Structure 1
Amino acid sequence: MSATVVRYGIIGAGNMGMGHMNTFLSGAIQGAELTAVCDVSAQKRAEVKEKWSHLQVFEHVKDMLHSGAIDAVLIATPHYMHPSEAMEAFRAGLHVLIEKPAGVYIKQVREMNTAAQQSGNVFGIVYNQRMNPMYRKLRELIQEGELGTIRRTNWIITNWYRPQAYYDSGSWRATWSGEGGGVLINQCPHQLDLWQWTIGMMPKRMRAFCQFGKHRDIEVENDVTAYVEYENGATGLFVTSTAEAPGTNRYEVTGDRGKVVIEDGMLSFWRLRESEQDFNQRNTQAFGAPECWKIELPAFGPSPEHAGILQNFTDAILKGTPLVAPGEEGIHGLTLSNAMHLSTWLDDWVDLPLDEDLHEAELRKRIESSRHKVTTT
């Protein structure tokens, strides 16, 4: 590999794959060069060849991985394929960047993480929302103790509206065998990741209610309400839907030193002069309340999104820059979605760490009865 350039290959020339191709070929990523693309579809391969004749185009993944034409691979294929293709790339000695989600169930992702660690190569995931300056600021405020001890988290993320026509556009969409889930595995991986990444902790247990095919002719969840409890006594609520119009995107985190709300592209911080606990101990007034200041943080500017992740991953390979989104961390958000499914299937609370074998067994039952018949790994 050149000391100044990382040669990339992309597996999957669908919507996300094409988007990444355009980013690379625009010259936006310093130190990166797109040299190869792989897709099983003859039509997709023809489209790539017609548009970018200088790229090497492959039908089979192994051929591209062992071609000598690439140093790193970006995997943008269906969810089930991410872990197996990543492990194959590690065996070929390549650096690996995967699209979200990390996979469909924890067990396969854990195997991928082990392969990544054993390879010694750079492993990242396209959690582009970690580049958003608002969420980075929230994480910073929490890490530096500005909110004190976290007491409650609430995220209502229902602006994922999808009509029936969207689901009808592909027989694999919104099926257990095709995608492995619905809104939790397709639309919400970014929020599930940010939920645990910003506050720095995972729940200890969860009770979730997934509605399967609510207001839509699909077999997976498209309406979810989940309640979680944390080790420190904090609680949380996560609500999402693809059938609500107009939708809402409001993330609220409360601590004993204040509250942060992210909504409508703004971050608002209500800061207490002293912790609620300290105030409560000294207060003698029946309707007293802690002194509070509202702080509207100035505009953060645009988020670098996908290009930011691609640049960070390239810099990690060339310069050793720390990854914003290490691939191994993809398992955390997936654990949350797996727990929501399992809690619903069992109609009961589930503890974390999750019973991975039980979740996989329950998922397999639904794959077997799925109306979309494919072979999954």
Structure 2
Amino acid sequence: MKKIRLGVIGIGNMGSEHCRNLAAGKCPEIELAAVADVREDRMEWARHELPESVKVFPSGRDLIRSGECDAVLIAVPHYLHEQLAVQAMSHGLDVLCEKPISVEAAAGRRMIRCAATSGKTLALMFNQRTNSVYRAIRNIMQNQELGAIKRMSWIVTDWYRTQKYYDSGSWRATWAGEGGGVLLNQCPHQLDLLIWLCGMPVKVQAQCHEGKWHHIEVEDDVTAYLEFGNGATGVFTASTGDLPGTNRLEIDCERGKLICEDGKIRCFRLGQNERETCFNSDNPWYQCNAKEEEIQTDGENPQHIGVLNAFAAHLLHGTPLTADAEDGLRALQLSNAIHYSGWTGEMVSVPVPEDKFHELLDKKIAGSTVRKTGDITYESDHTGTGAKAGQ
């Protein structure tokens, strides 16, 4: 069996987990060929914990140029995604990038242009798309079983984090190091799923509270009002300060609604389209007993392993990716729009002007805390590029 020789760039929390899964043989069409990290302690971990055949490099650049890999998985801080992805694709390697695709949509578009020019694949690690619950909702929405969407709301506040979490990494929760808070770190999956299930909002009005619950400089509490192209509306709420938190998605449609909570989907089906009932019923206080059922799923939830296997299958057999670069760009455009609206206090169209977003983010970076670590130097360089590789 032919295998994809994969290199993992960045072997921190997420990157090391990918390495363990690959080394355990959970992705039969992928060979873990190499890893890279600029931190000596992580390289030592790789030398002792991974198979001897895995080459260890002191930087992503060295791994990319080594000739040891056919593709790379990028699992480094957000600001470095563009730099490393472009380097890899320019050297003939396919790329699977951890979320988000980048910090600014403009950078995401540059990555997509590089993929088109080089002819290489650029995929995103949106592993929540593999969840059986969201796949089942997607099928219902795509098949229009409940008619057009009228309203949606998603309260996702089960991302609780203590101050210790934010203090655990010098790049965390700074504009220069991370480029955002709950929107860019915890919620890229939910923003992607929101678009995947309900469509792309066309307008956003948001409040982004910075350091409301923690001693941080980025947002940890967000509420966004959304408008969709067909006139549907929505509300998206996220926080890392609620305990206990909630994860509840409700989608109201013309012929019923879906409620997703605690890993279950409840579906309420109407006998006829609500729009028909509204204008044809003689009863001004009309009520109905909607048919309620729990939607059964296939129960499969392969998560990161599923995305990796789909990536390999795409490269070897041409089958679909779990999520491609355009998916990553759309999720970031929505994230950027929520930030931009929060910063300006205005209702904005999606996507927002990239130059104006860059200008406002650059001001945030200019006032950001200067932090340094052994692997990345985070500094305000007044160009909006944020983190710089310390290599």
The TM-score normalised by the length of structure 2 is 0.93
Long gaps (5+) in structure 2: 372-377, 380-384, 387-391
Which of 278, 296, 306 in structure 1 is aligned with 2:294?
Answer: 296
- What are the equivalent positions in structure 2 for 1:1-377 lying under 5 Å apart? 4-52=2-50, 53-199=52-198, 201-290=199-288, 292-298=290-296, 300-373=298-371, 374-375=378-379, 376=385
Partner Cα separation in structure 2 for residue 60 and residue 301 of structure 1? 39
Partner Cα separation in structure 1 for residue 94 and residue 72 of structure 2? 6
Given that 2:133 and 2:297 are in contact with CA atoms closer than 8 Å, whether structure 1 keeps it comes out as no
Given that 1:276 and 1:290 are in contact with CA atoms closer than 8 Å, whether structure 2 keeps it comes out as no
Given that 1:273 and 1:291 are in contact with CA atoms closer than 8 Å, whether structure 2 keeps it comes out as no
Query: SS of the residue aligned with 1:84?
Result: helix
Given that 2:61 and 2:84 are in contact with CA atoms closer than 8 Å, whether structure 1 keeps it comes out as no
Q: 1:299: how far off? A: 5.1
Partner Cα separation in structure 2 for residue 15 and residue 278 of structure 1? 53
Query: SS of the residue aligned with 1:204?
Result: strand
Partner Cα separation in structure 2 for residue 110 and residue 66 of structure 1? 24
Query: SS of the residue aligned with 1:141?
Result: helix
Q: 1:208: how far off? A: 0.3
Partner Cα separation in structure 2 for residue 231 and residue 198 of structure 1? 14
Given that 1:207 and 1:226 are in contact with CA atoms closer than 8 Å, whether structure 2 keeps it comes out as yes
Given that 1:279 and 1:290 are in contact with CA atoms closer than 8 Å, whether structure 2 keeps it comes out as no
Partner Cα separation in structure 1 for residue 351 and residue 326 of structure 2? 16
What value does the CA root-mean-square deviation take over the aligned residues? 1.3
Q: Percent identity?
A: 44
Question: Which amino acid is the alignment partner of residue 163 of structure 1?
Answer: T
Between 70-79 and 44-53, report the one with greater CA deviation. 44-53
Partner Cα separation in structure 1 for residue 298 and residue 244 of structure 2? 25
Partner Cα separation in structure 1 for residue 61 and residue 78 of structure 2? 18
- Superposed CA deviations along residues 92-130 of structure 1, whole A, max 9, x for unmatched, are 101100000111011111100111122222221100000
Partner Cα separation in structure 2 for residue 71 and residue 185 of structure 1? 29
Question: Which amino acid is the alignment partner of residue 206 of structure 2?
Answer: A
Q: How many residues align?
A: 374
Between 165-174 and 303-312, report the one with greater CA deviation. 165-174
Given that 1:97 and 1:327 are in contact with CA atoms closer than 8 Å, whether structure 2 keeps it comes out as no
Partner Cα separation in structure 2 for residue 51 and residue 286 of structure 1? 69
Partner Cα separation in structure 1 for residue 10 and residue 326 of structure 2? 21
Q: 1:35: how far off? A: 0.7
Long gaps (5+) in structure 1: none
- Superposed CA deviations along residues 25-53 of structure 1, whole A, max 9, x for unmatched, are 11011211001001111121111112223
Q: 1:83: how far off? A: 1.4
Given that 2:173 and 2:218 are in contact with CA atoms closer than 8 Å, whether structure 1 keeps it comes out as yes
Partner Cα separation in structure 2 for residue 126 and residue 329 of structure 1? 10
Question: Which amino acid is the alignment partner of residue 226 of structure 2?
Answer: V
Partner Cα separation in structure 1 for residue 289 and residue 120 of structure 2? 51
Given that 1:172 and 1:372 are in contact with CA atoms closer than 8 Å, whether structure 2 keeps it comes out as no
Given that 1:272 and 1:292 are in contact with CA atoms closer than 8 Å, whether structure 2 keeps it comes out as yes
Question: Which amino acid is the alignment partner of residue 303 of structure 1?
Answer: N
Given that 2:132 and 2:297 are in contact with CA atoms closer than 8 Å, whether structure 1 keeps it comes out as no
Partner Cα separation in structure 2 for residue 318 and residue 232 of structure 1? 39
Partner Cα separation in structure 1 for residue 121 and residue 2 of structure 2? 16
Partner Cα separation in structure 1 for residue 301 and residue 208 of structure 2? 31
Does the C-alpha gap of structure 1 residues 155 and 228 become closer, same or farther in structure 2, counting only changes over 3 Å?
A: same
Q: 1:57: how far off? A: 0.6
The TM-score normalised by the length of structure 1 is 0.97
